[in-house]
Structure 1
């Protein structure tokens, strides 16, 4: 059975610096209900792959989970910014790297139950090192890990960041299908 909820009424109930929260009154199979929806800028996720099969990873403290998270470089898109432009900017700011090639892989909804956010996943290759340009409130430690190690971590449930799981699985799939043979050593 397919049922589309129709919005009867919508209002912003919280307006913040990073998110807005909207409450919609919608039709349901049983009548009406309310839905609370987080509005957040879309984001980009960048799997920066080196010829030796290493991927640039980050560790940074994430307040919502009260822990240091092991993750792929990522960030939010600025208003009016194109996906690829945002991916290049975020990669340079967080890692210092600029790629010769950038390839769109997929888009993903990380939390469809309450958020409109879409994450756009890219593969960056032909990396050239440079200086980071972190935001004032960012503290990031960079590491390199081989794609096979990262894939095993995902499959063992040790790498729990969703956006990183998607990026790693996509890149591993490209490698396993031989689509990156010309790039990897």
Structure 2
């Protein structure tokens, strides 16, 4: 680690504590000894799942309204980690709740920070294969439409306004790369 880049936290003040995020204001000492303030959004993190139907060469996506941007988005199934929840358990839960599918073949393929300039949210990404259909069990405040999308269509729509959610773009790009590297597509 390059010590010349580290900021030292001098003080931290809690501004807001919510169900999904907390907000704090930190006073920091910069590497050049000047001082600055940092607005930090604390987030428990989450998971995103790539449900891939190998035989049909389709991915199960969810379409839902996102209030902060006032748009309906097409996304990978995803959800928040509960307190002390294992990310793999969360991935299994979210897969079943949002899509109605279960799997024993759930592989973690990576993790990433969504906006590390101001937020500590980390998303754990899972590939789900060998899916079995059960019943969808969405939360009471979730209204979701399932969309099975063929890989060919995903390749056409990736990076278009229809698929513009970061976790979905990252997850689908991973899947396409994985399939290509293993000569599966």
TM over 0.5: yes
Q: What does residue 132 of structure 2 align with?
A: 128
Q: Distance in 2 between matches of 1:155 and 1:24?
A: 35
What TM-score, normalized by structure 2, do the two folds share? 0.92
Q: What does residue 26 of structure 2 align with?
A: 24
Cα RMSD, aligned residues only: 1.6
1:44 aligns with 2:47: yes
- Which secondary structure state, in structure 2, belongs to the residue aligned with residue 92 of structure 1? helix
The answer on whether the counterparts of 1:7 and 1:25 sit within 8 Å (CA) in structure 2 is yes
The answer on whether the counterparts of 1:72 and 1:163 sit within 8 Å (CA) in structure 2 is yes
- Which secondary structure state, in structure 1, belongs to the residue aligned with residue 120 of structure 2? coil
Give the direction of change, closer, same or farther, for the CA distance of 1:122–1:30 in structure 2 (3 Å limit): same
Q: Distance in 2 between matches of 1:23 and 1:146?
A: 45
Q: What does residue 170 of structure 1 align with?
A: 174
- Which secondary structure state, in structure 1, belongs to the residue aligned with residue 178 of structure 2? helix
What TM-score, normalized by structure 1, do the two folds share? 0.92
Q: Distance in 1 between matches of 2:117 and 2:59?
A: 30
Structure 2: 5+ residue runs without aligned partners?
none
Quick check: 122-131 or 153-162, which moved more? 153-162
Q: What does residue 15 of structure 2 align with?
A: 13
Q: Distance in 1 between matches of 2:65 and 2:159?
A: 23
Q: What does residue 92 of structure 2 align with?
A: 88
**1:157, CA displacement in angstroms?**
5.4
Q: What does residue 148 of structure 1 align with?
A: 152
Q: What does residue 58 of structure 1 align with?
A: 62
Q: Distance in 2 between matches of 1:174 and 1:14?
A: 41
Q: What does residue 100 of structure 1 align with?
A: 104
Q: Distance in 2 between matches of 1:18 and 1:146?
A: 33
Q: What does residue 159 of structure 1 align with?
A: 163
- Which secondary structure state, in structure 1, belongs to the residue aligned with residue 103 of structure 2? strand
Q: Distance in 1 between matches of 2:89 and 2:81?
A: 9
Structure 1: 5+ residue runs without aligned partners?
none
Aligned residue pair count: 181
**1:155, CA displacement in angstroms?**
4.0
Tell me the alpha carbon deviations over residues 79-111 of structure 1, each in whole angstroms, 9 at most, x when there is no partner: 111111100000001111001300111101111
